[in-house]
Structure 1
Amino acid sequence: MVSTPDASDVSRVGRKAGRGARDVAHSMPVRIAARGGIGANGVLHLLIGWLAMQIALGSGGQADQSGALGAIAADPLGRMVLWVLVVGFAAVVLWRAVSAVWGFGYLGDRNRRLTKRLISAGLAVVYAALAVLAATTALSGRTSSGGGGQATAGLLGLPGGQVITALVGLGVLVGGGVMIWNGWQKNFLEDQDLSGAGRRKQRLNVRTGQIGFIAKGIAIGVLGILLGVAALTVDPQRANGVDSALKALREQPYGVFLLIAVGLGIACYGIFCFLDARYHRVT
């Protein structure tokens, strides 16, 4: 007669598996790779900032993660670099996923800890998407354009698609506002350990973090507005990702100067990522 495991056995196995995942995520190789993934995000944002400034000056191009990865793929050693990015992004996914369950023990406030865990879960999804995009680009040697428009078209095609798209746009707009607020209030500092950093590095970390968070929040907020416009006009191409948001900024009065400022701000976020890769609490 075959015996079936009772609830205590299942619970024991679950706890053991959980401890195993946590140990792997907190292991030195994954922690090093996760820091590399944060730094890789910095490389992408430097490229996005540069592409944004190229658009501001009248050149073509796609100023988003796809455009940045495509620029890397165009280099003779680009595919090898992309696979290195894939490994780093995958390590960040593992670390963020585990942090979403057990992380941020250094925060005393329970609600704050829960908020950070939810954000960490969202970042795990973001880095997973970056890993897939980098791997796809490495395999094909190029990125496909119009991904944001295709995603928006998919939302609009659902029952009640206009309402869903408008709500997603509202969520993105709020997310951009939160990012601006976090930059203004320097909230990113609570996830860093700067005890080993000199005064110059600490000042550089604060300034690039503030400017970068605010600039990126502006771009994300514009994307949220464009999603709302796409919902009203039933035109998915109006919200073709961050690239559309940056190009929409260029069409505004003094848009060239505004887009150059946002591009420089996004580049500052890239520099901040390099510092964050060193000082973030990867525990």
Structure 2
Amino acid sequence: MTTAKSAAHEARGSDSFRRIARAGYVVVGLVHIIIGALAVSIASGGGGDADQDGAMQQIRSTPVGGLILAVVAAALVALAVWQVVSGMVAVGGEVKKWGQRIKLFGIALAYLVIAGLATIYAFGGTAESEKTSQTISGILLGAPGGVLLLIAVGLTVVGVGIGFAVSGFTTGFRKTLDLPSGAGRPPIVVLGVIGYIAKGIAIAATGTLFVVAAWTHDPDKARGLDAALRSLTDLPSGRVVLWVVGAGLAVYGVFSIVRARYARM
């Protein structure tokens, strides 16, 4: 364990590794901008899938899409490794330390999943996160206590979404940034407020679909981010809501790109 921690400390001290990991934030931003644009398109009567799959398809449709996707995958893997390394050297009391580790390891897993999607699309393959969500839901529902298990998963995802929204309202995300002192409220903070709230709504809507799938015993209800965003159109003035959330996701993408410069690493 000591050896692993020493290696983690050494990795965190590498300027080259830090620069590559920062590039991961740019990639995250690019993906969110595309997803946000697709959501706005849907709200305006257009088509497309407003999720990671749709973003990968859009990137691959460019003349050098395969190469860009390879870069996307590499940068996200580097950022995921950085999160794991950060978790290994987490400081604080034992409870706080493990809380930080679980959070950072979870973030790393999310980055690795998107990196895997980018790799699949880079080599000409396809993947549908919607079917993956439905398959997982079906497996959970078929297990003993599956309904409660799936509800727990859905509520956990909803909780993550609420956490993002709260972080946006309270500017809690500032703790992850290394901002100049006495700078007041820099533009990146404004971007973060808008982006975090929009991302929180999108994540919470996705978790809600898992709860609905459990409640109705229908795994097909758990259809991922694209379906969650489309479900917003069922609300009063739903298309306006979807347009605003989509624009907010694009703003989160811009925030992530700027974050590459200010992230506390």
Aligned with residue 89 of structure 2, among 95, 98, 102: 102
- Name the structure 2 match of 1:265: 248
- Identity, in percent, stands at 36
- Name the structure 2 match of 1:209: 192
For 1:254 and 1:33, how far apart are their aligned partners in 2?
42
For 2:110 and 2:250, how far apart are their aligned partners in 1?
19
Aligned with residue 181 of structure 1, among 152, 159, 166: 166
| TM-score using structure 2 length | 0.92
Answer whether contact 2:5 2:89 (CA < 8 A) is retained.
no
Gaps of 5+ in 2: none
- Name the structure 1 match of 2:69: 82
Whether 1:118 aligns to 2:102 is yes
- Superposition deviation, residue 122 in structure 1: 1.1
Pairs within 5 Å for 1:131-210:
131-144=115-128, 146-195=131-180, 203-210=186-193
- Superposition deviation, residue 224 in structure 1: 1.6
- Superposition deviation, residue 21 in structure 1: 3.6
For 2:236 and 2:106, how far apart are their aligned partners in 1?
34
Q: Which amino acid aligns with 1:19?
A: S
Matched residue count: 264
Q: Which amino acid aligns with 2:175?
A: E
Whether 1:254 aligns to 2:241 is no
| TM-score using structure 1 length | 0.87
SS at structure 2 position matched to 1:63: coil
Aligned with residue 33 of structure 1, among 10, 17, 20: 20
In terms of Rg, which structure is larger? 1
Whether 1:276 aligns to 2:256 is no
| C-alpha distance 196-279 of structure 1, shift in aligned 2 (>3 A) | farther
- Name the structure 2 match of 1:67: 54
| C-alpha distance 122-143 of structure 1, shift in aligned 2 (>3 A) | same
Aligned with residue 37 of structure 2, among 50, 53, 74: 50
Gaps of 5+ in 1: 1-13
Q: Deviations over 1:111-152 (max 9, x none)?
A: 655533332111111111111111111112544353322332
Q: Which amino acid aligns with 1:57?
A: S
Whether 1:229 aligns to 2:222 is no
For 1:272 and 1:248, how far apart are their aligned partners in 2?
25
Answer whether contact 2:8 2:88 (CA < 8 A) is retained.
no
For 1:277 and 1:254, how far apart are their aligned partners in 2?
35
For 2:242 and 2:43, how far apart are their aligned partners in 1?
6
- Superposition deviation, residue 60 in structure 1: 2.1
Task: Return 21-30 or 39-48, whichever deviates more.
Answer: 21-30
